[in-house]
Amino acid sequence: MAAQASTVVDERPASVDAGTPPSDGAAAPDAFVSYSRADEAFVRRLEAALRERGKDVWVDWHDIPATADWRAKIYAGIDASRAFVAVLSPDLVASAICREELEHATRSNKRLVPILRREVDRSETLDDSHPETYAVGGHHRRAR
């Protein structure tokens, strides 16, 4: 059995402001982060830890105005990023929006990087049509 990789995230509050996709021709973000709002505090710490390591992260911290085509903005963020990070939790897999993001990333052949934030009970959340939600290649990173 292969060893699972482990990602340790500092539990202190993040002090880094939100990332947004480049609109000025800047380099593509290293990762788009998909998450449930229930895990926002964790994702803020994750984003800060990645930025401290020199990574450019696309996260939707700011509300998208009701008149904006928010789905297009999300898809553009996914398309612009090199990898798609899914912060796995029961809330993420129960979210239709998060599933749409994952499906778009999969159709776009993005590198999928799942980080297990909270255990997910497969029998109560999704059917087997979305195995990429749980692990890619049988591996995932466990948040601590």
Residue 21 lies in a domain: no
User: pLDDT: is 141 or 82 the higher one?
Assistant: 82
Domain span holding position 84: 27-143
Mean pLDDT, rounded, for 108-123: 91
Calpha distance 29→110 (Å, rounded): 12
* Residue 56 DSSP class: -
Q: Identify whether 6 is part of a domain.
A: no
Residue 101 lies in a domain: yes
In a domain, 31, yes or no: yes
Enter the DSSP assignment of 81.
S
The CATH number assigned to the domain holding 70 equals 3.40.50.10140
Count how many domains the chain has. Answer: 1
Per-residue pLDDT tens over the stretch 60-96: 875 556 687 888 989 999 999 999 999 999 999 899 9
Whole-model pTM?
Answer: 0.70
- DSSP 3-state assignment of 4? coil
Model confidence at 131, pLDDT cuts 50, 70, 90, reads low
Burial status of residue 94 (CB atoms within 10 A of its CB: 0-12, 13-18, 19 or more): middle
Does residue 105 lie in a domain region?
yes
pLDDT, tens digit, 9 for 90 and up, residues 12-69: 333 333 344 444 556 889 999 999 999 999 999 999 999 999 999 999 875 556 687 8
Kindly state whether residue 66 falls inside one of the protein's structural domains: yes
Per-residue pLDDT, averaged over 113-124, amounts to 86
Residue 108 domain-assigned (yes or no):
yes
Q: 33 - beta bridge partners?
A: 85
Task: Confirm whether 7 is domain-assigned.
Answer: no
